[in-house]
Amino acid sequence: MAYPSHNIQPQQHSSGKLGVSSKAIIACVLWGSAFAGAKIGLQYADPIFLSGIRFTLAGLMLVPVMMFRNVDFLREIKKHWPFMLLFAVLQTFMQYGLFFLGVDRVPGATSSIIIGAGPLFIAVMAHLSFKNDRLTLRKTAAILLGLSGIIFISLTQGKISTENPEFYTGVGLLLLSVLVGGYTNIMVARKKDSNISPYALTSFAHITGGILLLITSFINEKPASFSFPIEFYGALLWLA
């Protein structure tokens, strides 16, 4: 997940707004399709291993982008490494580790709905973190309505019984992932005046968090084979 630069002023003319809207739509399509890609990859690999290799590759793919953009990656790390390391642990290692563990247990469509609750949690966290972002009665009603829909879908998909504990475990993991993700969004919002390059922050977080996930996978999942079919590599490239 890349974060927009806070130094870029929004375009005021209509063509600029159209460009921003188009990029937002593309981002939504990519994010939505990630659930299908994850389900394909999880047929052949353990969840923590898949998330680790995905984000390590994604972080490395940003290196040539930073070279093209003249971003001094090493200088950014030296200047902001405490924040970048904390962000990597929380945003990539914890959030996406929980995400892949949850998606492994929950149908893709249901996973996307639960993860879509992220803005609801962020709204509550923003209320608690910023004085100028308070919850109104209307916002509160909307959040409660959204959460009730998630609970309803989770219960009906789980058949409202104890016969499918893996499903409910997955729902819990996804909700934890959403909470951690909400907190990392607040972290970035609070850090907006520090001029951290979003390219450097994202690349460092993905590479560092991805390596931590791979280490965790080798310890806990102990992958038996690294031979995968072409479908796995296609899904992995798309996810990255």
Query: pLDDT (tens digit, 9 = 90+) per residue, 149-170?
Result: 777 766 666 554 456 688 888 8
The token duo for 119 is: 């803005």
Angle at 201 between CA 232 and CA 188, to 5 degrees: 110
Q: Whole-angstrom distance between the N-terminal and C-terminal Cα of the chain?
A: 10
pLDDT at 202 exceeding the cut of 90: yes
Confidence of residue 45 (pLDDT cuts 50, 70, 90): very high
Cβ neighbour number for residue 195 with a 10 Å cutoff: 12
Confidence of residue 190 (pLDDT cuts 50, 70, 90): confident
pLDDT recorded at residue 130: 62
159 φ, ψ to 5°? 65, 20
Q: Model pTM?
A: 0.77
pLDDT recorded at residue 143: 77
Say which range, 105-109, 110-114, 124-128, 179-183, has the weakest mean pLDDT.
124-128
The answer to whether residues 5 and 198 touch, using CB atoms and an 8 Å cutoff, is yes
Sequence-ordered alpha helix ranges (H) in 43-88: 47-68, 73-87
pLDDT at 46 exceeding the cut of 80: yes
pLDDT recorded at residue 108: 73
135 φ, ψ to 5°? -80, 130
pLDDT at 56 exceeding the cut of 60: yes
Angle at 212 between CA 95 and CA 111, to 5 degrees: 30
Q: Which of 175, 212, 185 is nearest to 85 (CA)?
A: 212
Confidence of residue 127 (pLDDT cuts 50, 70, 90): low
Only one residue has tokens 């709204």, namely 123
pLDDT recorded at residue 193: 63
pLDDT (average), residues 35-62 = 93
pLDDT 10s digits, 93-115: 999 999 999 988 888 777 777 77
The answer to whether residues 190 and 129 touch, using CB atoms and an 8 Å cutoff, is yes
Q: Is 133 helix (H, G, I), strand (E, B) or coil?
A: coil
pLDDT at 179 exceeding the cut of 70: yes
pLDDT recorded at residue 36: 85
pLDDT (average), residues 125-154 = 73
The token duo for 172 is: 């819990």
pLDDT at 62 exceeding the cut of 80: yes
